[in-house]
Amino acid sequence: MQSARNRSRWRPAQASPRRRARQRSRGQGITEFALILPVLILSLLIVIDFGRLFMSYVTLNNVVRIAANYGSTDPSSFTGTPNTTTYNAVIARETAGLNCALKNDGAGNNPPIPVVPATPTLGSMSVATMTCDFSLVTPIIGRFFGASGTLPISASAQFPIRTGAISYIGGGTTLPPPGSPVAAFTFSGVSGGSIDGSGNVTGTDPVTVNVVDGSTNAQTWQWSWGDGTADEFTQVAFPHQFTGSNTYVIRLTVTNTVGSSSTTRTVTVNPVSAPPPVAGFYGTPVGSAPAASGGGSGGAVIEGSKPLVVNFTNISTNGTAYSWNFGDGSAPSTAVSPQHQYSTLGIYTVNLTITAPAGGTAFTRTSYVTVGCVVPNFANTSTASADGLWVAAGFQSANLSYHRVGDKQTTKGPPGTASTIQSQSIAGGTFETPTQQNKTKPYECDDTIVIDYP
């Protein structure tokens, strides 16, 4: 009975009315946010498109004004066969901020060129018109402008032409003196060169110049540098650097409502003179005394027994090619710092010849390497092996004598009974310079030695 009564009292837990309301509100908020999120994104894209469109429109209007003004100051560049190299460079710089590409004009020019009369006269107009297709990033709005989704933007500007004869009055292009512009300028602050008596500049690559305007009655200025860089349309031009060997013609053209005037000066840039080559070297023997000694940067002569290996260190400057003559009849080496082995007795002169664009030169160390003989140390060796040691060291066998202690005479041959050598007339380890009887015979070590035995 108790269990049944307890079961009859159990009821499932139910959320409170406030909690159920809070859950419904949270679900409704998520649903509403999901509905308005596309609207927020679309609004953001519209704002971005409007900003891009506005900036492109402002930039395009500025570009057409510059183009029309260019045509008003230099209409001859757009009559006959147009010369638009400088104009294109100027427009390319000014359209860097456009978010759309310019369309060709009726004649296929891109960027479009100003329209000027075939015979420009003072007061006639230079008219520039440009159009570009602006692409929208907002997909829904873009569909309103056709399949391409682009919005054409156009701008136009005109300026009165400031050179030529006055219309309807006649006369030629000779300008009346009063009020006519006169172009003039000088150089200042030249780096890498100097100003000559004619007011022109000559220097060594690179050359940087500052130009100082001295024109009169000028209202516009055009600086053409003659090196392919864009013209500058300001009275005070930036410092200009010229690189590359050449003569550059700087032209200043000034205009006002009466006409125009031009003047030129030159900047001559010469190549950098290559410094002349200077040859130099020293050698270092491989090994140490008594087998080899000397050498080093101090220039000490090198001495050693054969085979003598020498490392040569090249200390030349401004060289581009090298030729080593080691003085022993071997083939020349073209290495920068070679190693060479001397295998024959002799006294050798070493020569290094270097070449460079500025010329060639040589450096010689006379009697620099001596390959001679080192006297063996016979102490505690047998008289039976003395002759072999003496010849192996490079000496003549006939120049070795034997002396038994207590005897008055020496003999050429070793004693019949081998004995231990006690002393020698020339100390072991002594370096002997080779000699040459005449130039047709080889070098030899002709010293004589006497060894004592008991």
Percent share of the chain, pLDDT over 70: 84
Q: What pLDDT score does 171 carry?
A: 44
pTM: 0.47
Report which of residues 250 and 52 the model is more confident about: 250
Indicate the pLDDT class of residue 2, thresholds 50, 70 and 90: very low
Torsion of CA 435, 440, 442, 445, to 10 degrees: -30
Name the least confident of 18-32, 88-102, 299-313, 400-414.
Answer: 18-32
CB 434 within 8 A of CB 443: yes
Q: Share the mean pLDDT of the chain.
A: 84
pLDDT number for residue 220: 92
Amino acid 45: pLDDT = 63
pLDDT in tens, 207-255: 999 999 999 999 999 999 999 999 999 999 899 999 999 999 999 999 9
**Tokens 């102490």 sit on residue:** 379
**Would the pLDDT of 169 be above 60?**
no
371-400 tens-digit pLDDT: 999 999 998 899 999 999 999 998 988 889
Tens-digit pLDDT profile for residues 293-334: 999 999 999 999 989 999 999 999 999 999 999 999 999 999
Of 107, 69, 61, 106, the closest CA to residue 87 belongs to 69
Alpha-carbon gap, residue 293 to 302, rounded angstroms:
6
What pLDDT score was predicted for residue 52? Answer: 78
Contact 222, 252 (CB under 8 A): yes
pLDDT given for residue 148 in this prediction: 58
What confidence category does residue 282 fall into, taking pLDDT thresholds of 50, 70 and 90?
very high
Answer yes or no: is pLDDT of 166 > 70: no
At residue 168 the predicted structure's pLDDT band, cuts being 50, 70 and 90, is very low
Could you give the CA distance from residue 281 to residue 299 in angstroms, rounded to a whole number?
9
Instruction: Supply the DSSP string of 91-144, one letter for each residue.
Output: HHHHGGG-SSPBPP-TTS-SSPPPB--SS--BT-EEEEEEEEEEEPS-HHHHGG
> How confident is the model over 435-449, as a mean pLDDT?
88
Cis peptide upstream of residue 290 (ω within 30 degrees of 0): yes
Give the confidence band of 438 by pLDDT, cuts at 50, 70, 90.
Answer: confident
Looking at per-residue confidence, does 149 or 174 come out higher?
149
pLDDT higher at 270 or 74: 270
Indicate if the pLDDT at residue 433 is higher than 70.
yes
Q: Is the pLDDT of residue 30 over 80?
A: no
The residue whose two tokens read 């219309």 is: 167
pLDDT in tens, 129-142: 999 887 776 665 55
Backbone angles phi, psi at 398, to 5 degrees: -70, -15
Q: Is residue 66 within a helix (H) or strand (E), and if so which, with residue range?
A: helix 17-73
